[in-house]
Chains A and B, each alone.
Chain A
Amino acid sequence: MEREMEAELRFHLETRAEDLMREGVSRMEAMRRAQMEFGGMDRAKEECRTARGVGFAESALQDLRFGLRTLRKNPGFTAVAVLTLALGIGANAAIFTVINAVLLRPLAVQHPEQLVAVGDPTRVHAWSDGTPGTSSFSYPLYREARDQNQVFSSLLASSRLDNARIVIDKGAEDVHGRVVSENYFETLGVEALVGRTFVSGDGGAPGSDPVAVISYGYWQKRFAGSAGVVGQTVELNGIPMTIIGVAGPKFQGEVVEDQPDVWAPMMMEPQLMPEKPYLETANISSLLLVGRLKPGVTMGQAKANLDGLVRRALTGRLEAMLSADDRNAVRNKKIDVQVSDGGRGLSHVRAEFGQPLWLLMGMVGLVLVVACINVANLMLARSAARQKEMAVRLAIGAGAGRVIRQLLTESLLLATLGGALGLLLAKSGAAALVRMAEAGVGVRNRLDLDWRVLGFTAAVCFLAALLFGLGPALRFVKVGVGTVLGSGARHSGPRMKLQTGRLLLGAQIAMGVFVLMGAGLLVRSLWKLEGADLGYSRDKLLLVRVDLGASGYRGESLHHATEELLYRFAALSGVKGATASTNGLYSGSESEDRILLDGAPPTNGEKDSADDEIGPNYFSTIGVPMVMGREITQQDFSRRARVAVVNETFAKQYFGDRNPLGHTVGIQDSEHPNTPPYEIIGVAKDVRDHDVRTRAKKRLYAPLSAGGFDETGAINFEIRAKNPGALLDTVRKTVLNLNAGMMVDDPETADALVGETLGSQVMAARLSALFGGLVLLLVSVGLYGTMAYNVATRTNEIGLRMALGIPRSSVLWMVAREAGLVLALGALLGVPMGMAGSRVFQSMLFEVGGSDPASIAGAILLLVGVCLAAAIGPARRAMQVDPMVALRCE
């Protein structure tokens, strides 16, 4: 269209010139005259465009072409703006990518919106052994729920396959496996890519169908995607299993952070995990349940149906499986089955990282605003240079709307370039973040830049462009034609900009204070958490968990193996002492039992207490002081004394001011009804043994014994050593020397283990500190730019003042006051903002209040430092202004 118009007008001019030449005018003169007669060519063109009702797409294309040309002509400006935006947008996209993977993305299954999680969706690796509960389900209870419910078209169950190990052609390899109900794939609507998945005919009876489905990833990795895999027999945990199919390529299971390699039918569970057969016990609850709702059924209806069903099952059909204690416990307990959205999968990581991620999203959003203000400042600074261009465009008849559109197109172009670069950063940034958070292999593989991430990034780009582009664009138009084309504009321009610039800088510093304060609070909380007094001395302590039960030890042999290991650990050079416990420190395992005090149920306080079985010298080995009495020693073990230690909380709750020593405490246990009670021989200081944040529970410590009250079979060993880091491998080898087939977890130092429980805290602290640094960088660049520009435009004024005899120091003061003013403005706004904002993430703070003076002071000091550094250059330049040179310029 544009070209056609050009051609038409050219034709007009040339034909007119030819006519004139025919009258005897020279060629040059004819052309000149033709053009003069025609008049303002640009104005006519612009009017033609308006008259024709230029198509939106066409003019957008024009703007785009013009915008690209402008950006190319100013490579310095473009580079700085694009880089600034790439940092801002990239950081946002990175955080959002992780949020998408962990919090938003639905499972790759059919109609995920119909799925509900039954039980606690965060307890994905839980294994509870005791009174039946509904946070996870036992197999008999699942069977009842599956068959008796009226709300699901299908209900699946799945649990972890412990220590899964596949042997293919004699090559052994550890894999991630899950044991799933036979309707698992059918419920999720996941089809096999090759072969078939389980059908309800599989596993009619326990152990009857040794078949397995493998994941697409494992198929590619181990079988190179060969179709011949179907029918092949592999050994899974020692059991020959036939591979019947490969799941679809997108399917990664129902647990967000997991990525199973192999699925086995639940009926094979007793064979695959012989040490933990759970198909016929109601006491082991380890199943995650996911149901597909029938059409029209609500979550509330599903919950009501399940509550009634579980109560009926536990007090009816399953009652015979329960001990007398459990029957009582079930009758007295309110049945409250948790039913929640299951379409996004089950996840522990989501519960742990959800809040920190949203907090970081908020912070990084502010970082982007700060970045946008920097770019807006750049655009404003450039506006002085472009005012004439714009005025000319307005004068030749471009509407104000058209000019704004042109400028916004340029902004969008910058934002798009920044966004594209940002996406590159985001991909690797998100991966680094997930690695740092140790959020699990499943999450790492879900970090796709899918439509949600791309849409988010596009929206962010658009908003950013509006944010930094609209203000400067409106100013262009407001300044108007006359002021600029008349040369008076030289002074009026910068003057106005000074006010706007100050406000923008103040806002930037306010947001900087906000982000830095948040980072300060999180970092200080982390320090306090890491340094918190847990009640035991955790440095130089090494922990290792050995699953003796799973390795085939029972009763007396388990007891002997424990003693033997303790003996061997103690004999290692550099080891000062070794002890053991069932639940131990930060092991994730916990037990609680009904107690009897002096033969009767307690009258004050709860009837249950947390407990643990411990080895000799437990307290002196892990470094817990005794408050009263003494600890359980080797002598007590040798004579099998029935003695126990309680912690301070226990003593205070049940004995108040009385002396608990000499009283007896018993475990009410229907499995061992005749076990004699323990005599309390000591009171130990409270220990935060499982969580840094929560206060110690009341706890009873009894000696480890063959056939004690906890028969989980896994023993935690605590080893005090001079240099525990150096012993990690030795300890593992010591265990394997006793029995090469022993199931042993990697030994860890207590420090590392405590650190692991702080994963989300570490991530939040590190990232917020990183974003704080980014904000500091952006603020300093912005401040430097504005100050330098101000000094440059005020060179005349400064020179004049100097010529009038004002000392150089007061020129310095002038510049310093400028920086001080915006700093004060920013701090005044930012500190209350930060204090109010900290309420949002209060639960992530530890022993630090929202108005923590150190965090506030730290934020302000950092900004003052950065502002000073940014102001030094411009201030020195101002002082070096030569009055003569400055005046000559005028």
Chain B
Amino acid sequence: MIPRLSRKGGGVDKQIELLQGTLDMLILKAVSLGPLHGYGVLLRIEQISGGRLEIQQGSLYPALYRLEDQGWIASEWVESENKRKAKYYRLTADGRKRLQSEEQKWNRMTEVIAGILSAKAEEL
């Protein structure tokens, strides 16, 4: 079992399990806002989600490697804010297209699912 710690006071009940397959999209989004190292990706997603979304650290790196292998993100070693070399990821042109199509797909899906969930008996 991999232990999961809550942090910054976020209550356990407030956390959301990440849906399968959405981590790749979130990473692409995070680095689309500017180059980040792995830990930075983690922080940015948590920051944007207001601490409500927690990502398993162990699964972050395999996802980064996978995206890089597919050519959607690229990496280089740059000096970080704490004067140490870190591996920064940025979005590639292919990655931008991929992010767009993922976003559209996600939006369509949430629309459809929201529509289904909000359905009332009299409307059918």
Contact = CB atoms under 8 A, between A and B. Distances in A.
- For this complex, into which size category does the number of interface residues on chain A fall? 20 to 34
Interface of A: 4-5, 7-9, 11-12, 15-16, 18, 33, 36-41, 43-44, 47-48, 50-53
Interface centre among A7, A11, A40 (most CB of B within 10 A): A11
27 contacts: A4-B87, A5-B61, A7-B87, A8-B38, A11-B37, A11-B80, A11-B85, A11-B86, A11-B87, A12-B37, A15-B82, A15-B86, A16-B39, A37-B4, A37-B5, A37-B57, A38-B58, A41-B58, A43-B58, A44-B58, A44-B61, A47-B59, A48-B62, A48-B65, A52-B65, A52-B66, A52-B69
Interface centre among B4, B56, B61 (most CB of A within 10 A): B61
Interface in B61-78: 61-63, 65-66, 68-69
Contacts of B61: 5, 8-9, 12, 44, 47-48
Contacts of A51: 62-63, 65-66, 69
Interface centre among A5, A33, A50, A52 (most CB of B within 10 A): A52
A763 to B, nearest CB: 60
Contacts of B2: 39-40
Contacts of A9: 61
A12 B63 contact: no
B3 interface: yes
Contact of A11 (B4, B5, B39, B57): B39
B38 A12 contact: yes
B84 interface: yes
Contacts of A53: 69
Contacts of A4: 87
Contacts of A40: 2, 58
A52 B68 contact: yes
A12 B65 contact: no
Interface residues of B, number: 24
Q: Is the interface of A mostly helix, strand, loop or mixed?
A: helix
A51 B66 CA distance: 5
A4 B62 CA distance: 14
Given A11-B87, A15-B39, A16-B39, A36 B65 contact: no
B73 to A, nearest CB: 12
Contacts of B65: 48, 51-52
B58 A18 contact: no
A5 B65 CA distance: 10
Contacts of A39: 2-3, 56-58
Nearest to A49: B65
Interface string B1-18: 011110000000000000
Kindly list the 7 A-B residue pairs having the minimum CB-CB distance in the complex, ordered from nearest.
A47-B62, A39-B58, A39-B2, A51-B65, A51-B66, A44-B58, A52-B65
A226 B85 CA distance: 66
A12 B85 CA distance: 11
B24 to A, nearest CB: 11
A53 B71 CA distance: 13
A7 B56 CA distance: 19
A219 B35 CA distance: 74
Contacts of A44: 58-59, 61-62
A47 B59 CA distance: 8
A7 B57 CA distance: 16
B58 A50 contact: no
A38 B87 contact: no
A50 B56 CA distance: 18
A34 to B, nearest CB: 9
A18 B82 CA distance: 10
Contacts of A50: 62
Nearest to B43: A19
A829 B69 CA distance: 55
Contacts of A41: 58
Contacts of A47: 58-59, 61-62
Given A16-B39, A48-B61, A36 B3 contact: yes
Nearest to B40: A15
A863 B58 CA distance: 59
Contacts of B86: 8, 11, 15
Given A8-B86, A39-B3, 18 more contacts: A7-B85, A11-B37, A11-B85, A33-B5, A37-B3, A37-B4, A37-B5, A38-B57, A47-B58, A47-B61, A47-B62, A48-B61, A48-B62, A48-B65, A50-B62, A51-B63, A51-B66, A52-B69
Contacts of A33: 5
Contacts of A38: 57-58
Nearest to B63: A51
